[in-house]
Amino acid sequence: MYQLFRSLAYIHSLGICHRDIKPQNLLLDPETGVLKLCDFGSAKLLIKGEPNVSYICSRYYRAPELIFGATDYTTMIDVWSAGCVLAELLLGQPIFPGDSGVDQLVEIIKVLGTPTKEQIREMNRNYTEFKFPQIKAHPWQKVFRARTPPEAIDLVSRLLEYTPSARTTPLQACAHAFFDDLREPGARLPNGRDLPPLFNFTEQELSIQPHLNSILIPPHARGASVGSSPDGSSSSSSKGGAIGVASPPDMSTSSMTGAEASSSSAATA
């Protein structure tokens, strides 16, 4: 998940919205732990004032503003989708398994409760039908298993917000306490291998939310040259290989599914 959020931070800083974040579009090398974000067939450069289609993104991962028919949405629809992926990894099944577009909203309301008029306006200011049954939010602690790390639950709750602007940003997600274990010296993959490069941030990445840089780059990683790849070469290539955006694949990878991941591997991925 860390690598997914880092990938999103990078493409969002360029104004690009992926618009189809789901487990099937996350390619994970099980040996190295390297994750690549793939399938940019639905991606778009979002331009303010230019309308976009609302019928986009796979149903289980579709942000509520899309269900409400918004055409002026932001890259925060990707953040919602990423929150659904994280929740699925923790649950072992989709958190919002709607059978249709309308049923998808019903599944969301079962967990988040009925959105307020203000929240609906934030999702789509042109939506004027507010006739919804009043349902209280389900406590997040009861959505997940008792052994689920509280940091994981907290991160999910910050990602799955009705109001798009209230959702945590991808880099804020990377800096979240849920990923603190990855910043520990000597942290390794579950198979004992070294972690993939997680802190080789480019100048582009470090300019997104500079106040987070002291958290994003742990002390033991600050000796390496910032903005460089582990081999010393520049990592600011437009291909985004070091960042986690898939170039034309030439490596054997496997799709990541929620049922196959534990909370520890969810953090690494």
Q: Which of 20, 39, 78, 99 is catalytic?
A: 20
Task: Write down the pLDDT at residue 101.
Answer: 86
Pick from 10, 2, 5, 4: which is nearest to 207 by CA? 10
In CATH terms, the superfamily for domain 2-268 is: Transferase(Phosphotransferase) domain 1 (1.10.510.10)
- For 20-49, the pLDDT digits (tens) are 999 999 999 999 999 999 999 999 999 999
Dist CA 187 CA 164 (whole Å):
33
- DSSP one-letter code for 146: T
- For 155-195, the pLDDT digits (tens) are 999 999 999 999 999 999 999 999 999 999 999 999 999 99
Pick from 192, 229, 172, 242: which is nearest to 9 by CA? 172
Dist CA 222 CA 102 (whole Å):
49
- For 221-250, the pLDDT digits (tens) are 986 645 544 333 444 444 444 567 765 433
Task: Write down the pLDDT at residue 268.
Answer: 63
Known catalytic residue at 231: no
Task: Look at residue 16 and give its three-state secondary structure.
Answer: strand
- CA–chain centroid gap for 77, Å, is 9
